[in-house]
């Protein structure tokens, strides 16, 4: 009886959503969540992909997030499940999918135990998850910059889409506590962050629960550009790359405080960069980051100080500025 009631509820929800759509509009895939045993999520996804006809669903997946953990005297990047015990599936035929799922062995056990849950997500719930997940269904680390007094000045990455949902920051533990809802139930999750101090560190991977391949060292992923520009700290360094703008910067009065870097004897053996690489750096020069999580990324010099250089770099789909040690960059040869 309970199973029939659940099925009727699903059908009712789907019918109501269909009535709200414009006549003749293409029907979009809706998100559903399936509850399973913690630690068995990937096994359930594998069974569904093998048994359930592909025309009944779009995607079936588990969601993960990157977290920075301090293990064995070093910081490591772990990729862990965001919602342990939950599997997500998209479909425009939930009634047929619901009946077909009962043929999956793992689901039969849940049904017999009376713990089988198959619920739709509200459109706004699905929209939030779509915004923060990448193509591998992983919530990547977000970059957070502070004013030195634990006040946030700039946020980039997935966390940017959850600013109104942030409950607090734990800078020492490198995460932000975020409040979300899942099938009408409030959930509290941790979204991993990196700070300016982490930019030029070499970060290794630790525990990886996701069935994806990871490199030996963590690198900032490429993310589609974000056209919004309402957060402070965004650098327009791509415009600065234009020859006329570089020339104007070099000839401007601001240049008086940005001389080339010379007499860097303390940099010998400090890192991959060398005194020769940085000896003639000036504002407007193109450089490549040579160490840390931004290794290999192109950047633009904004300002040079005694031991640091302020650069503009494009990451997490945005242009931003940050200060890094001089040994972390190398001048790009034209």
What residues does 321 pair with on adjacent strands? 312
pLDDT of residue 151: 86
Whole-prediction pTM value? Answer: 0.68
pLDDT of residue 316: 59
Spans of all domains in the chain:
2-20+27-208, 237-331
pLDDT of residue 186: 93
Let me know the angle formed at the C-alpha of 249 by 245 and 253, rounded to the nearest 5 degrees. 145
Q: Which residues of the chain have pLDDT under 70?
A: 1-27, 108-115, 221-279, 315-319, 334
| Burial readout 197-217 (b: 16 or more C-beta within 10 A, e: otherwise) | ebbbeebeebeeebeeeeeee
Question: Would you state the structure tokens that stand for residue 61, as one six-digit string?
Answer: 């997946």
pLDDT of residue 49: 94
Longest dimension (CA), the chain: 81
CATH number of the 2-20+27-208 domain: 3.30.70.940
- Fold designation for 237-331: SH3 type barrels. (2.30.30)
pLDDT of residue 267: 33
pLDDT of residue 99: 87
């Amino acid at each position: 009886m309970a199973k029939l009631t659940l099925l009727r509820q699903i059908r009712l929800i789907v019918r109501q959503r269909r009535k709200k759509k414009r006549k003749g509009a293409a029907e979009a895939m809706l998100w559903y969540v399936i509850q399973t045993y913690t630690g068995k999520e990937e096994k359930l996804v594998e069974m569904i992909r093998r048994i359930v006809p592909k025309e009944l669903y779009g995607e079936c997946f588990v969601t993960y997030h990157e977290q920075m953990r301090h293990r064995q005297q070093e910081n490591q990047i772990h990729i862990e499940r965001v919602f342990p015990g939950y599997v997500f599936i998209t479909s425009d035929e939930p009634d047929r999918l619901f009946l077909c799922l009962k043929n999956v062995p793992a689901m039969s056990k849940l049904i017999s135990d009376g713990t089988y849950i198959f619920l739709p997500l509200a459109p706004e719930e699905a929209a939030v998850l779509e915004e923060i997940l990448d193509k591998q269904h992983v919530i990547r680390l977000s970059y957070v910059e502070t004013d030195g007094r634990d006040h946030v000045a700039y946020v980039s990455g997935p966390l940017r889409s959850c600013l109104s949902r942030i409950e607090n920051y734990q800078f020492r533990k490198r995460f932000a506590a975020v409040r979300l809802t899942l099938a009408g139930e409030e959930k509290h999750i941790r979204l991993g962050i990196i700070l300016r101090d982490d930019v030029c560190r070499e970060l290794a991977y630790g525990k990886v629960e996701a069935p994806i391949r990871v490199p030996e060292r963590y690198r900032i992923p490429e993310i589609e550009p974000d056209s919004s520009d309402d957060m402070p700290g965004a650098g327009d360094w791509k415009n600065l790359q234009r020859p006329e703008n570089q020339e104007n910067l070099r000839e401007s009065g601001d240049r008086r405080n940005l001389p080339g870097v010379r007499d860097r004897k303390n940099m010998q053996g400090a890192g991959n960069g060398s005194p020769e690489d940085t000896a003639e750096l000036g504002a407007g020069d193109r450089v490549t980051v040579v160490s840390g999580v931004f290794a290999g990324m192109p950047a633009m010099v904004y300002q040079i100080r005694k031991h640091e250089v302020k650069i503009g770099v494009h990451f997490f789909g945005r242009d931003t500025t940050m200060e890094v040690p001089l040994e972390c960059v190398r001048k790009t040869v034209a």
